[in-house]
Structure 1
């Protein structure tokens, strides 16, 4: 059974802020490293089957009067054997907002944040790997937790989290949070290139150490990263602040939506916190997270995003909207950012997966992306400066915890700006149903 997609175009609200970047938004890439060489013919078949389960991923952007809409895209999703990260929304990818490529043992899925966030695209990746491994290894793998072709969409899977209606907020006082963090001196450098280091740690051992210290994986890495920065800059004039990406789905009652549904939590590393044992530091961070993730706090954050979209919708032209959001073009979050996608559900197919990595260029500053997949926790350290001091100190601290760690050399890289901001205005309206809000 092929799932049919509603061909009515709907205005983008979640992810709207990503659509007005000067020069386009750079793609985000999920890079799956398989243990064996990838068979392109089988991956193509797996892709075609997986997409039957996710009809909303067959989309392109349409722009009208400065507003962007998602529309059904009848063209095939782009697929190629190439190391090149192609521009999403361009002719080279049939105007789609995802692109699947492969070389060697890597399978890469590039996606646009106007379509979904990391949590929104990972179920598709899990389905893709399931079908690929089934073909590649001639096995019927257990599909528990995997969404399969022919199954219906989950309740709310395409629901808009930041629509016109605001969320009801109670009288829980807003948390007093330190957001003004220490600025890394490297941020003064002119940005001429982007770099990443790929760090891999045994998952079972990492989780055991985290549990021993009352930490989640993200909390443990946040504390190690903050300690590394403090060690390098003992005279820091402000607290080291970790901006932790936080999934809002559960608190908003939209656990299944694929659309962007993320806010930020702030974890300050103060002089007082630095003097505590690791377990007490982790406990303090747990308390900070619990306070900031109270339902009222999350709903307030969601209402702020709705308010931003409302103001944007009041502006009459594309130029005016771009001007309003121009501050995003050079946005830097101090001191650093962590994004943790959690554990990918590969099931039995995980035995054929070495690791998964998440990266995107174009952001100024320091970002740590984390993914747990198969037997490995991957930490991709992304930075807009050349210095390797932070990575070296972070690795030293990880080793001090008794963890075996492997790390790549510094990798210069760039993901590609989209062309959707150009091609969206050229789509023929006559091929689509009426625009809706």
Structure 2
């Protein structure tokens, strides 16, 4: 924020905000061999620290969400299995409305903001994946191994998870994207692909970047609060590498268009639903963890990197009180993830890496330089996100 945080005001804002989101006031428990979210009426914790507190543990009152503050930062920590960026943005939008209204003694407009006292619709509350029927059958196909940055750069011994934060003027990046027939997400994925290709020109494995996809549109449930994220795989084919940037961007945009058709997205939903049902059908945690480990290993093998862009944050009138905005996720894979946020006139690209080397970031920044895009490398930090106490790992 632009000013130091007032903890009493933040407490008021958090308490009022969480009244609007009862489905996030839950604890993850094991009952009769299954894992379920149960109502949690304890206060949501606010800590005075950058690190926050362990989720689903005593320190967080066994909540799957928590808040923290330090100096002029407000931090919102949430379990990704509870919601995704779209759902988290709704909570932040509500929190900023209440916090800024009291902190600055102003009456902000309520339009487009979920507020305490609202009637929560079935669409917002009910998991659309659980209730979905007649989903398309997913196409089964072998996906070849992708280029691994860790292997090709020989970074196996560099295990310090690190975040590089890069800021770009919003209008400049939007105009550049549109001029080249792209969007912020596809252009970011393309710049990353080009950077990796130039670093490892003799690599045999394909460069494959996944661009995260919001599944709500295909499910016709735009208000759903759940974690509803799929992905479009963008492969930087050999024949594309000599094309001009705008033609490459058009190709990536075409790949995204084809993979975000409702039929394709719903087939992906069906695949994930089947996987979830298979996990739930297992009788022991050991079996479930074994399957999960296999899936994680397979994902590591078929992806070079991931890019996630929720879309313009649109925090309404509260945006003028925001100085900076970051999006950090746990680096669970063996590949980098770029989280893109668009807040108060600028994009922030957080490069979340399972290693500390600046190799990829520097190559990406050279792509920006070569394209005449002005940027600010704001800072570099060791990734520090709270642990989540999961019942099956206790």
Report the TM-score, using the length of structure 2 for normalisation: 0.93
Aligned partners of 2:208 and 2:235 also within 8 Å: yes
Is 2:355 the partner of 1:385?
yes
Within 5 A, what are the aligned runs for 1:7-406?
34-163=1-130, 165-169=132-136, 180-184=145-149, 185-186=152-153, 189-190=156-157, 192-328=159-295, 332=300, 334-363=303-332, 364-406=334-376
Residues 40/328 of structure 1: CA separation in 2 closer, same or farther (3 Å cut): farther
Q: 1:143 to 1:177 in 2, by over 3 A?
A: farther
- Matched with 2:384 is 414
1:308-347 deviation line (CA, Å, top 9, x unaligned): 1221222122232222222256552521111111111211
CA distance in 1, matches of 2:114, 2:165: 29
Deviations 1:118-166 (A, max 9, x none): 2112101111011111111111112222111111124411221322654
2:93 aligned counterpart, secondary structure: helix
1:324 and 1:394 map into 2 onto residues whose CA distance is: 35
Q: Distance in 1 between matches of 2:157 and 2:126?
A: 41
- For residue 75 of structure 2, give the secondary structure of its aligned residue in structure 1: strand
Alignment partners' CA distance in 2, 1:164 and 1:117: 19
Contact preservation (8 Å) 2:187, 2:249: yes
Task: Deviation per CA, 1:38-91: give whole Å up to 9, x if none.
Answer: 111111111111112111111111112431101110100011211223210010
Distance (Å, rounded) in 2 between the aligned partners of 1:380 and 1:189:
22
Question: For residues 411 and 168 of structure 1, what CA distance do their matches in structure 2 show?
Answer: 43
Q: Is the 8 A contact 2:161 2:383 kept in 1?
A: yes
Mapped contact 1:88–1:418 kept (Cα < 8 A): yes
Give 1 or 2: higher helix fraction.
2
Decide whether aligned partners of structure 1 residues 422 and 310 sit closer, same or farther in structure 2, where only a CA change above 3 A counts: closer
Contact 1:167 1:303 in 2 (8 A): no
Q: 1:281 to 1:403 in 2, by over 3 A?
A: same
1:255-275, CA deviations, whole angstroms, 9 ceiling, x for partnerless residues?
Answer: 111111111110011221121
**Alpha carbons 2:136, 2:270 under 8 Å: kept:** no
Show structure 2 runs of 5+ residues with no match: none
Tell me if structure 1 keeps the 8 A contact 2:159–2:356.
no
2:158–2:357 CA contact under 8 A, matched in 1: no
CA RMSD for the aligned pairs? 2.2
- Structure 1 distance, partners of 2:114, 2:82, is 19
Q: How many residues align?
A: 389
Task: Say if 1:129 and 1:349, in contact at 8 Å, map to a contact too.
Answer: yes
On the 8 A contact 1:66/1:321 being kept in 2, the answer is no
